[in-house]
């Protein structure tokens, strides 16, 4: 997304903002902010994230065209594009850059270890080497994590509530980054204490291989289900993953609500928009002179359980009323 497209996202929120609040900041100098995001411009979830970030900045008094100039680049699931756009953004000399998800942080840190980077929706920034510690990040990078590994274990517990007889579980995960390894390990820990429960790891990077692997998994006998861990490839191919789960009648649990818009059955995780609101708060603090090294990494304060009753009915599942009552949202 280029600057003119970013301005379009600003329009609705800016119109609703009181003029006095928009003038609250010192407008004698135009400030520059970069945004590197791992989805694509046409992705509705990506648009929602950017919109939430923009609106939160406006609440702090930063308004595009008045005292703020923002440059946004969308990389999708492309390491080459990530590196290209990271260099391009840093070359524009922003004062701070928002990095949405781990691939963006990796690309930006390869280019600079000085310019402030605020990340959003990252898993295990310490294990990935982005920060020295959660409390004292050090360096030029800090931000907001998506969740801790313990949440991954809850996905298996939720799947067993959705489908009590489940014996075989396909775990869609990216085996390359530390976050993919950590999520799978947390699920394995719970599975090892359950007699007769079998896990099958499936890599979502290649759509053709993903189709083949899930078809093979679904063709075997036994009560089966699926967990889709958080990863960039899974987010990129989420339409395909959700459609295959419905096709093979695989009860599936996802990390984020936006998978359910594509037919996913259930999700347990943070409200992703909140993460980008928090990131805007940190960008504001950096623009006002604070250093990323002094801003602790933060975790979500709340998690949501969402159930897609339409998908449950399509799979012929009778969900327990206790689970539906506990859900934060039931999609009907």
What are 86-130's pLDDT values in tens digits? 999 999 999 999 999 999 999 999 999 999 999 999 999 999 999
The CATH number given to whatever domain includes residue 226 is: 3.40.50.2300
Residue 251: pLDDT above 50? yes
Strand, helix or coil for residue 117: strand
74 and 162 together in one domain: no
Beta-carbon-side half-sphere exposure of residue 304 (alpha carbons within 13 Å): 18
The pLDDT, as a whole number, for residue 194 is 74
Let me know whether 89 and 129 are in one domain. Answer: yes
Give yes or no: residues 245 and 137 share one domain: no
In this structure, the answer to whether residues 92 and 138 fall within a common structural domain is yes
Residue 64 shares a structural domain with residue 117:
yes
In a domain, 22, yes or no: yes
Arithmetic mean of pLDDT over the chain: 90
Summarize pLDDT for 42-101 with one digit per residue, the tens: 999 999 999 999 999 999 999 999 999 999 999 998 999 999 999 999 999 999 999 999
pLDDT cut 90: percent of the chain above it: 80
Question: In the prediction, which pLDDT does 28 show?
Answer: 56
Whether 129 and 207 share a structural domain: no
If one counts the domains in the chain, the total is 2
Same domain, 158 and 81: no
Task: Assess whether 16 and 115 both reside in one domain.
Answer: yes
| pLDDT over threshold 50, residue 25 | no
The secondary structure of 266-313 as a DSSP string is: EEEE--HHHHHHHHHHHHHHHHTT--GGGS--B--S--EEEEEHHHHH
User: Domain for residue 312, yes or no?
Assistant: yes
In a domain, 168, yes or no: yes
Q: Say yes or no: 119 and 177 in one domain.
A: no
Domain extent at residue 279? 3-146+271-294
pTM: 0.87
Check whether residue 109 and residue 182 sit in a common domain: no
For 267-293, the pLDDT digits (tens) are 999 998 999 999 999 999 999 999 999
Q: Please enumerate in sequence order all residues whose Cβ is within 8 A of that of 321, keeping only pairs 6 or more positions apart, or say none.
A: none
Q: Does any domain span residue 299?
A: no
């Amino acid at each position: 997304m280029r600057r003119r497209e970013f301005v379009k996202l600003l329009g609705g929120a800016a119109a609703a903002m009181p003029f006095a609040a928009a003038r609250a900041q010192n407008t004698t100098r135009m400030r520059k902010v970069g945004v590197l995001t791992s989805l694509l411009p046409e992705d509705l979830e990506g648009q929602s994230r950017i919109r939430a970030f923009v609106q939160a900045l406006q609440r702090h008094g930063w308004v595009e065209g008045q005292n703020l100039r923002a440059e946004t680049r969308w990389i999708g699931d492309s390491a080459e594009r990530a590196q290209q756009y990271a260099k391009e953004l840093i070359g524009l000399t922003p004062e701070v850059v928002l990095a949405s998800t781990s691939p963006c942080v990796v690309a930006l840190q390869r280019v600079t270890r000085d310019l402030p980077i605020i990340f959003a929706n990252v898993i295990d920034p310490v294990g990935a080497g982005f920060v020295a510690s959660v409390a004292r990040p050090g360096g030029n990078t800090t931000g907001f994590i998506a969740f801790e590994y313990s949440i991954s274990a809850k996905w298996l517990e939720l799947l067993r509530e959705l489908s009590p007889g489940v014996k075989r579980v396909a775990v869609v995960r990216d085996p390359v980054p530390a976050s993919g390894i950590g999520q799978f390990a947390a699920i394995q820990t719970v599975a090892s204490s359950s007699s007769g429960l079998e896990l099958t790891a499936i890599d979502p990077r290649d759509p053709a291989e993903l189709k083949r692997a899930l078809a093979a998994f679904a063709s075997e006998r036994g009560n089966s289900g699926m967990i889709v861990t958080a990863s960039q490839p899974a987010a990129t191919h989420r339409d395909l993953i959700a459609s295959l789960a419905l096709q093979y009648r695989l009860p599936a649990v996802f990390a984020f609500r936006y998978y359910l818009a594509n037919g996913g059955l259930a999700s347990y995780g943070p409200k992703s928009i909140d993460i980008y609101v928090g990131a805007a708060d940190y960008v504001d603090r950096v623009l006002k002179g604070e250093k990323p090294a002094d801003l602790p990494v933060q975790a979500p304060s709340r998690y949501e359980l969402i159930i897609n009753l339409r998908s449950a009915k399509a799979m012929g599942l009778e969900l327990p009323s206790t689970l539906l009552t506990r859900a934060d949202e039931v999609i009907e």
